[in-house]
Amino acid sequence: MSAFLSSSFMHNIFGGVAQGVVYSLVALSLVIIWQSTHVLNFAQGAMAMFATYVGMTEIDRGIGYWWCVIISVAVGMLLGGLTERVLIRPLYGKPEINPIVVMVGFLGVIEALAAAIWTSTTRNITEPFSQIYYHDHGNLVFVSPFIIYQVILALGIMLIIAALFRFTKLGLQLRASALAPEVSRLLGIRVSRMLTIGWILSAGVGAIAAVIQASGSFGLFPTDMDGIFVAGFIAAAVGGLESPIGAVAGGLLIGLAEQFILAYWSPNVAPLGGIIILVVALMIRPQGLFTKVAGRRV
């Protein structure tokens, strides 16, 4: 057993899952926004990066890692809510390309602003958990405390989001507002508030992804979420944009594909993993792997 856990196959599985959950979080955050406001938020990764900078530079004041995580997420949520209110709200009812253009512009602005404030030098966050692999009778098992931390944190957030949407009054109102805004208003639901809350939740999930990414070996720099965003975006598209489960599965799939391509082919082509999966998925099921085909309408 221990030989199997130490095999390079399992190394790739663990590594792929660890990176995949980060993609899944980004994909999930994109799906939440897409479902509620039909906006593809191209600045999602950059907004999360910015929030992480605000929170994580607090570590210099010696307040400890966990406080920095909480500050990052809080700032991310605030930024999400403000973005919806200020940048996106005036664009409802306009062509779908308008918010895309605005958010691509916003992406550039945030990254430039981050570089201006904090410089573009990589900052390493003091790791909350060791990145050193566990040993089992002298054999390496390719799991580190940090990998366990990132997988558990990501899965925990996904479960919390799922439970919130599925079981709470707020979740029911969020779903109804996304599915049938006019009917929801007729029932007295404050739909515009629900749209803002959707952006707040989404940006919070994105911030967690950025925190995990920055806490790892790559560190924090103004463009650190660009590649992650692309992979998360592809994951969301593969899952069908409407499906939270599809987004999570898509993220894992891309994480694993990249890892295996990196191991068995070349690190240079690893980012192609996502693209290959996207092309194949679009050929097999253009509507997304996890989207239900429109059902019977009486």
Partner 1 sequence: MITVKDLSVSYGAVRALRGVSFEAPTGQITAVLGANGAGKTTLLRTISGLVTPTSGTVALHDQPLTGLATENIARLGVGHVPEGRGVIEELTVEENLRLGGLSRKIDISAGLADQYARFPILGERRKKLCGTLSGGERQMLAMARALIAKPRVLLLDEPSLGLAPQVTAQLMRTIHDLCESEHLTVMLVEQNAKSALRIAHRAVVLHLGSAVASGDAATVAADDDLRRYYLGVVVE
CA 297 to chain centre: 34
CB nearer partner 1, residue 112 or residue 172: 172
Strands (E), 167-233: none
Phi and psi angles of residue 136, each rounded to the nearest 5 degrees, phi first: -135, 105
Question: Taking CB under 8 A as the criterion, which residues in 132-171 touch partner 1?
Answer: 169
Asked if 189 is part of the footprint of partner 1 (rule: CB under 8 A), the reply reads yes
Residue 142's nearest CA partner among 153, 134, 150, 130 is 134
- Residue 148's identity, in one-letter code, is I
Residues 257-296, mask of contacts with partner 1 (x by CB under 8 A) = --------------------------------------xx
Comparison of 83 and 173: residue with beta carbon closer to partner 1: 173
Q: Which of 87, 180, 278, 282 binds partner 1 (CB under 8 A)?
A: 180
Binding of partner 1 at residue 243 (CB under 8 A)?
Answer: no
Give the contacts of 277 (CB within 8 A, at least 6 positions apart).
234, 238, 250, 253, 254, 257
Least Å distance between CB 154 and partner 1?
27
Amino acid of residue 282: L
9, amino acid identity: F
Report the site for partner 1 in 62-121 (rule: CB under 8 A).
none
Quick one: 140 or 180, whose CB is closer to partner 1?
A: 180
- Closer residue to partner 1 (CB): 135 or 190: 190
Sign of the torsion formed by the C-alpha atoms of 160, 208, 239 and 177: positive
- Least distance between partner 1 and beta carbon 162 (Å): 16
Is residue 19 within 8 Å of 213, Cβ to Cβ? Answer: no
β-strand 134-136 against 139-141: which pairing, if any? antiparallel
**Cβ 27 to partner 1, closest distance in Å?**
21
**Site residues (CB under 8 A) for partner 1?**
169, 172-173, 175-176, 179-180, 182-191, 295-298
